Amino acid sequence: MYSFSDILKRPSLITSIKLANFNWFDNISSRNHVIAFFSFLLRFFTIEVLRIMGIKIIYTVHNKIPHDKKYLKLNALFMRYLLKRSDRIVIMCTETKNLIQKYLSENEMRVKIRFIPLPTYTGIYKEKLLHIKELPNNHKMHILFLGMVRKYKNIELILRLARDLSNMDIEFVIAGNTMEDYYKQEIEEKVKKLNSVTLILRFIKDDELYSF
């Protein structure tokens, strides 16, 4: 199994590939319009080259609409294109069929769609407690947010709750990496006024997850 970056580093690997599985490939996002457009073209070119080489395309549909809503029409156009060009389409909830059936025929739906629900990840991560130096060392009740820290996830609601419950014995922990420097600075500035919030804005390794 190879990642997209592996192929870019070693293009010769592509000759050994029989199928390509795309996750979040329909999410085109950038603060720069030119970069977003070229990203669209690159993804289109990638799919066409793979098909010419006889490599099967698997498209996993994660979201009804993209998290970054700046290029909704472009993302919707590319989603429709992926649905048509994919050999198989993985959906993780049955409601996704209602979205897809607008763009595919009944026969395409029958042949392409595969329902694979989201896993629970139970037993995936090693159950070993590690010392995470950034975690607060107290006996308060902890409320944890763990994952990518992005604007669409409404981290501000957690900060508002922390402010409203500031007189209670509760500690809020926000842990995860950030993609946008400007948003990271926004969150850090808002947390300065909150004594009950701990920020751990970095990538959380797999072996650390159990300790949170």
Place of tokens 């607008």: 102
Q: How far apart are CA 184 and CA 179, in angstroms?
A: 8
Burial of 79 per CB tally in 10 Å (0-12, 13-18, 19+): buried
Q: Which residues contact 146 (CB under 8 A, 6 or more apart)?
A: 175, 176, 204, 209, 212
> What are the pLDDT tens digits along the chain (212 aa)?
777 777 777 877 778 888 888 888 887 776 777 887 888 888 888 889 889 889 999 999 887 776 666 777 878 888 889 999 999 999 988 888 888 888 888 899 999 999 988 877 777 778 888 888 888 877 788 899 999 898 888 899 999 999 999 889 899 999 999 988 888 999 999 998 898 999 999 999 888 888 88
Q: What angle in degrees, to the nearest 10, is found between the helix axes of 155-164 and 181-191?
A: 0
pLDDT value for 66: 67
pLDDT value for 89: 92
Q: How far apart are CA 139 and CA 123, in angstroms?
A: 27
pLDDT value for 68: 66
pLDDT value for 56: 92
